[in-house]
Every structure is written in C-alpha cells, then in structure tokens.
Amino acid sequence: MKYNVPVQVPVGVSNRHIHLSQADLDILFGSGYKLTEMKPLGQPGQFACKEVLIVAGPKGVIQNVRILGPTRKQTQVEVSRSDSFVLGLQPPVRDSGDLAGSPGCVLIGPKGTVILKEGVIIAARHLHIHSTEAEALHLKDKDRITVAFGGERSVLFQNVIVRAGETMALEFHLDTDEANAGLLKSGDRAYIIERCEPEAAEVTDAPVFVAS
Amino acid sequence: MKYNVPVQVPVGVSNRHIHLSQADLDILFGSGYKLTEMKPLGQPGQFACKEVLIVAGPKGVIQNVRILGPTRKQTQVEVSRSDSFVLGLQPPVRDSGDLAGSPGCVLIGPKGTVILKEGVIIAARHLHIHSTEAEALHLKDKDRITVAFGGERSVLFQNVIVRAGETMALEFHLDTDEANAGLLKSGDRAYIIERCEPEAAEVTDAPVFVAS
C-alpha cells in the first residue's frame, strides 16, 4: 500500500549502546548503584546515562560505550555491523528484547566485569509510532514499511518494523551504518512511502546479465 | 526507466584505501619504490598491495590502511563516513579523481610522512560496466541508476553513478557503511531495477504527519 503523500518522520540515529539489568549494574558499578541521567531520549522515559563501559569480544575492544536507562529485565548490547567486525562477533539483526541465541561479550566497568552469555544484537531498524498515529496511517504493530531519505546518497530502507503503542513517540530509528550509508543524522526528516506486503521486500533471484 | 526484469550485478565492497602518486610513494617507502601486488581487484589492471599506511586526522588515527595499485597522478584517500568521524574530517561524497576542495590528512609510511593538502573523499557508490553491456541496458557513462539488495535489511540505493567504458568490468561498488547497512558482502548479487530520471532520486519536502 502506497501513501498518496510521503509521510514525514523524524530520524533518530542509534550509536552502539547498552541496556543493563540491575543485577549486572550492581556488579559493574557496585551494589545498589543508580544510573545517572545525562540526556532524555526521543522515547518517553528513556535516557542516556553518564555511565559508559568497555565492551570486549574475541577480536577486539570498544571503549566508552554508553549505557541507556532505565534498567531492564535482561542486559542487551546493541552494536552496528561495523562494530561487530571490531569485536569479532556475529550478532543477528534483531528486534530489541529478542536475544535468544545471540552471542555474548565481556562488559568491563569500574567495579566489576560481567561475562554475558547472550545479548549482543544488531538492532533491526524500526519506526516508533503512537497507536493513534499508526491507526491513521493504516499501520499496526509489527507491520513492515519502506522509509526513504533523499540527497546525494538517496536510499530506500525496506523492511522497517513498525512498533506501535500507547507509549511510543514518532521516530524512525536506525543505526550508524545505516545512517552513514544515507548521510542521515538525528533530527533529519525521512519519509514513509509505503506499507510493504510481507513478500515484497525480498528481491528474488533474477537472470545474470550477459552482454550481447 | 524501469527494466522488465531486475538485472543482476556482482557486488564489490570497498574498505578504506589509498591510491598513491609515485612522488608520494617515494617519500613514504623510499625513492623509486615499486608497489607489491597482493591480490588482483575486479577492475582490469587494479590490485591490492602488500603495503599499508597510517592515516591521521585532527581527531584520530587509522592504522593498516591498504594501498591499491597501480600509482596514479594524484594521491587519493577513500574512507567511509564512519572513518571520517574517527579521523575528525568532513570529506565530501565524490567520484574517484574529483578531489578539488576535499580535505587533506597525514599519511605515515615506513620511510617518511606526507602531509596531504587535499585528497580525502567518501567514494560515491557506482556501477562499473563495459560500454557494450551499458548499451544493451540503455545506459551511458554518468547516468544514475537504482540498485536493490534483498534480505532482512533490504535496501534500494538510488543515485548510483554509472561508469561505463571499454576497460570496465561489471561490478557494483559501495563502501563498508553502505554494505553494512544492507548486510552486503563482496561477491553478493545486487539488482539494477531502474535508470533514474535526474530529478527522481531526490525526495522533496512532504507534509509532517500529525495524528488526527
């Protein structure tokens, strides 16, 4: 389904970051530690923290990885595919919270170290949208849409997951690889151009071109 | 103009790399130095060299940046946008060889250092194609096309520059940011789906969505 006009949405670029459980926070920063809010994020109640950690994998280390608050049930580390090559990990592209079978890593904090068994993912790009707005656009939670961004590196992101809910604020989230590929930055405006049919996002096999 | 079938083309992912002039090669590795071929590239006569350099900018350093041969008239450093943030530079997105007004950097080799005045660019993604193949596809040098890649991070790259010529071998070149955004790797197959009209690649301003 195509929209008769492209629908403008604000862009939020996610750099690598960590969501921590309170148990892991206790180990890394000391028992009963509370995260320090530095800056609110686009989604209500979410914030960037003053605290950062070292993330280590079998091939390399990334320092100063920001923690986002509040704490969650399970610790989750979101990296870009570029980051994954530095760390030497092969994380899957996943929705937030869907961590089963993902690789682990080592988190190093000022008071302790956590050896994560699983929880490293590449975040699937997604649109946060309030239920009321979603309804007006004939979208529902878990739909897929195509989002366009113009300019000299003009790009169409297909297969963007819709995350509709009462607590969501309109924002198109993508990671630094995707942002750099299209020269996007936080605060830019992108455009929803269509709701994908489930099978439409996939380009299937096509004939190899041979010069005549 | 859309093709009646998508045209399959092989993908070549370009990591950061350096093309050197013989004068700069002399400074960095010693007078009269010859580059050592390590691996041929997709384009005839081009090769990856054994030699690497340190690239430095005002904010950071990247080590082990591969040199590609043969030598060229002017030294050119191709980085991703991710790399540009590490270096602290703001290179433009440019075709190879179009270096006027681009930032410089410092190149450090085993025998000397070169302070480049200009030459750092983010390579514009492009399709190498032989003139005969281009003609069969109704494409000419400097046309723009849209290239699609499927899968879970399915993406359409618009505004891809066609570089048609007698010495070109069919290959869609993009950088590591673009490859990671779409989960592409060298040797994958992407699909040309249309030739862009000059103004069609740009998504112009659209109404901001407001919930009703």
B38 and B71 together in one domain? yes
pLDDT higher than 80, residue B32: yes
Residues B62-96 have pLDDT tens digits of: 999 999 999 999 999 999 999 999 999 999 999 99
What integer pLDDT is reported at residue A156 of this predicted model?
Answer: 96
Interchain CB distance below 8 Å, A154 and B202? yes
- Geometric angle at alpha carbon A73, from A69 and A75, rounded to 5°: 70
Mean pLDDT value of segment B154-167 = 95
Q: In this complex, do A191 and B177 lie within 8 Å of one another by their Cβ atoms?
A: no
Q: Quickly list H helices, chain B.
A: 22-29, 81-87, 131-136, 176-182
Asked if residue A27 and residue A8 are part of one domain, the reply reads: no
The mean predicted confidence, pLDDT, of chain B is 93
Residue B211 is predicted with a pLDDT of 43
What size, in residues, is chain B? 212
Average predicted confidence (pLDDT) for chain A = 93
Cβ contact A102:A115 at 8 Å: no
Stretch among A71-85, A198-212, B58-72, B177-191 having the lowest mean pLDDT: A198-212
Place of tokens 């570089």: B163
Q: How far is CA B171 from CA A67, B161, B178, B189, in A?
A: 41, 12, 15, 10
The arithmetic mean of pLDDT across residues A92-110, rounded, is 97
Which residue in chain B is spatially nearest to A190 when comparing CA positions?
A: B203
Chain B residues in contact with A131 by the CB 8 A cut-off are: none
Q: What is the span of the domain harbouring residue A147? A: 2-12+125-201
Domain assignment present for residue B207? The answer is no
Same domain for A25 and A115 = yes
Three-state secondary structure string covering B31-85? CCCCCCEEEECCCCCCEEEEEEEEEECCCCEEEEEEEEEEEECCCEEECCHHHHH
Residue type, B87: L
Domain end residue (candidates: A92, A108, A123): A123
Q: Cis (ω within 30 of 0) for the bond into A40?
A: no
Question: Which is nearest to A49 in space by CA: A79, A32, A81, A25?
Answer: A25
pLDDT of A201 > 50? The answer is: no
Answer whether residue B212 is part of any domain. Answer: no
Tell me if A178 is assigned to some domain: yes
Between A and B, how many CB-CB pairs are < 8 A?
Answer: 132
pTM of the model: 0.89
Using only C-alpha atoms, what is the Rg of chain A? 19
CB A180 within 8 A of CB A152: no
High-pLDDT (> 70) share of chain A, %: 93
pLDDT for B198 beyond 60:
yes
B212 pLDDT more than 70: no
User: Which of A104, A123, A142 marks a domain boundary?
Assistant: A123
For residue A112, give both structure tokens: 């302790």
Instruction: Using CB atoms within 10 Å of the CB of residue A63, give its burial: 0 to 12 exposed, 13 to 18 middle, 19+ buried.
Output: exposed
Q: Which of A8, A153, A184 to mutate to test the interface with B (most CBs of B within 10 A)?
A: A153
Shortest Cα–Cα distance, A181 to chain B (Å)? 4
CA distance A185 to B179: 18
CB contact under 8 A, A153 and B159: yes
For residue A34, give every residue at least 6 positions away whose Cβ sits within 8 Å of its Cβ, in sequence order, or none.
none
Task: For residues A143 and A197, give the distance between their C-alpha atoms in angstroms, rounded to a whole number.
Answer: 9
Residue A208 within any structural domain of the chain: no
pLDDT bracket for residue B60 (50, 70, 90): very high
**Is A3 a residue whose pLDDT tops 80?**
yes
Confidence grade of residue A198 (pLDDT, cut at 50, 70, 90): low
Indicate if B133 and B102 belong to the same structural domain.
no
Please tell me the predicted confidence (pLDDT) of residue B6. Answer: 83
**Same-domain status, B95 and B7:** no
* DSSP 8-state secondary structure symbol assigned to residue A40: E
Same structural domain, B160 and B115: no
Domain boundary pick from A100, A123, A146 = A123
pLDDT in tens, A148-197: 999 889 999 999 999 999 999 999 999 999 999 999 999 999 999 999 87
B79-113 CB burial, b ≥16 within 10 A, e <16: bbbbbbbbbebebebbeeeebeebbbbbbebeeee
Closest approach of A53 to chain B, Cα-based (Å): 19
Query: Residue A85 CB: number of other CB atoms within 10 A?
Result: 16
Domain-embedded: residue B206: no
Structural domains counted in chain B: 2
Specify whether B144 is located in the same domain as B176. yes
- Residue A196 in any domain: the answer is yes
**Has residue B210 been placed in a domain?**
no
Instruction: Kindly state the average pLDDT of the residues B169-186.
Output: 96
Mutation for testing the B interface, residue in A177, A178, A195 having most B CBs under 10 Å: A177
Q: What is the pLDDT of residues B97-133, one digit of tens each?
A: 999 999 999 999 999 999 999 999 999 999 999 999 9
Q: A2 falls in which pLDDT band (50, 70, 90)? A: confident
Calculate how close chain A gets to B56, using CA atoms only, in Å: 19
